[in-house]
Amino acid sequence: GAGVSQSPRYKVAKRGQDVALRCDPISGHVSLFWYQQALGQGPEFLTYFQNEAQLDKSGLPSDRFFAERPEGSVSTLKIQRTQQEDSAVYLCASSPGREYTNYGYTFGSGTRLTVV
């Protein structure tokens, strides 16, 4: 597609529920990133994929967070046993290059997760 597509746009989860957030990157983009953006804050890095390989997951806040990109295109961010502090906008970005920052990333519009 023309841009990075994320679904759902909004998700309300009860505390303890598992959620799955989807990202469709720009076709052919090698690099894919997940960021978490709390209200009034800048995005914070979660994890990075180069094709299907997850090269960096240093930003994942706990083992409840899991991401995958099995075929090197669509990626899913899964959060198990959601907690209120997981409430945030989850942003996906893709980049054509293999390096982390050789190009500016193209971001999707994000999924706003609210845990009640």
- Summarize as ranges the residues that interact with another protein (CB under 8 A): 4, 33, 35, 39-45, 48, 56, 59, 91, 93, 99-101, 104-110
Least distance between another protein and beta carbon 63 (Å): 20
Residue 31 has, within 13 A of its CA and on its CB side, a CA count of 19
Query: Closer CB to another protein, residue 57 or residue 64?
Result: 57
Query: Closer CB to another protein, residue 34 or residue 79?
Result: 34
Least distance between another protein and beta carbon 82 (Å): 22
Query: Which position has the token pair 């180069």?
Result: 50
